[in-house]
């Protein structure tokens, strides 16, 4: 009977009740002001409000203990990454891919609930990405261009959170088409074989300008079956495992049409390519705010 009783309860409240409860719970002498933001962007220093205490809210990423590289592990890694590249179409073929456009079905898992969306993804190598998704809240367009990113909705255009920008930049940096097409630019360490997605896989650690990540390759075909990397998840920094499958030959390249990402053993997302187009004409307006 909440709807019926709430009004009666409110009408019974007196000024004396309000004053009594205010004195019980509100203590101006104990008030603390929490400010979150970039201090250099404030119009005045926070000290004008009183004593300032800085709180560090950084969540440190767990460190991965890796064996130190040796001349042998680097030489074997370099040899194997070349074969992995050849298995996907060869470096020369992959290097000819300037961009990739795909129609996708995307499933995201949040708090145990799955939300499915469809849309289009465009990757322009090496550092641009545009994703247009049909969501339950309407169409959403996300764009990353170099060091900046923004999100367009029916309500307007908004800056993409910097952590999200960094996550997309890291994703572009470890994109297998780009990495395997430019493998001579990387150091690659052979770490042996390991269990991955229920099978044995060759473990190659790719060392570049950004955080290192693992490429897992099938020992027989040498095609990548997945990647392991560290990124920010829904609960902070965590290890991510991406399982790749459903390889299809597209022109001169073998491309996985299905990707499932798990965090700490739990599925976080699934991406299925319905159609893929390579080297499409790119409208510059797509990457303008």
pLDDT tens digits, the chain, 289 residues: what are they? Answer: 888 899 999 999 999 999 999 999 999 888 888 888 888 889 999 999 888 998 887 767 667 788 899 999 999 999 999 999 999 987 788 988 999 999 999 999 987 788 999 999 999 999 999 999 998 889 999 999 999 999 999 999 999 998 899 999 999 999 999 999 999 999 999 999 999 999 999 999 999 777 899 999 999 999 999 999 988 766 677 889 999 999 999 877 899 999 999 998 889 999 999 999 999 999 999 999 8
Report pTM. Answer: 0.78
Report the distance separating Cα 56 and Cα 234, nearest Å.
19
Q: Give CA separation, 76 vs 72, 199, 256, in Å.
A: 6, 21, 25
Q: Give CA separation, 162 vs 158, 232, 251, in Å.
A: 12, 12, 36
């Amino acid at each position: 009977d909440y709807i019926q009783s709430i009004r009666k309860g409110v009408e019974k409240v007196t000024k004396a009740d309000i004053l009594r409860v205010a004195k019980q719970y509100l203590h101006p002498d104990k008030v603390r002001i929490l400010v979150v933001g970039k201090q250099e962007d404030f119009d005045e220093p926070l000290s004008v409000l009183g004593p300032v205490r800085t709180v560090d809210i950084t969540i440190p990423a767990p460190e991965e203990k890796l064996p130190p590289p040796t001349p042998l592990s680097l030489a074997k890694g370099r040899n194997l990454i070349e074969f992995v590249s050849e298995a996907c179409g060869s470096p020369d073929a992959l290097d000819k891919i300037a961009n990739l456009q795909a129609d996708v079905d995307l499933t995201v898992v949040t708090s145990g609930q799955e939300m499915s969306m469809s849309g289009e993804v465009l990757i322009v190598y090496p550092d641009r990405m545009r994703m247009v998704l049909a969501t339950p809240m309407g169409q959403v367009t996300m764009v990353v261009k170099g060091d900046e990113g923004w999100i367009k909705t029916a309500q307007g255009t908004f800056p993409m959170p910097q952590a999200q920008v960094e996550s997309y930049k890291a994703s572009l940096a470890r994109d297998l088409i780009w990495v395997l097409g430019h493998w001579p630019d990387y150091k690659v360490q052979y770490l042996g074989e390991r269990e991955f997605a229920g099978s044995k896989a060759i473990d190659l650690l790719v060392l570049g300008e950004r955080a290192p990540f693992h490429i897992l390759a099938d020992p027989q075909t040498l095609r990548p079956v997945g990647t392991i990397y560290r990124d920010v998840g829904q609960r902070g920094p965590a290890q991510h495992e991406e399982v790749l499958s459903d390889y299809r030959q597209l022109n001169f390249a073998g491309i996985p049409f299905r990707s499932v990402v798990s965090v700490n053993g739990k599925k976080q997302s699934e991406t299925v390519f319905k159609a893929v187009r390579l080297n499409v004409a790119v409208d510059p307006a797509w990457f303008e705010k």
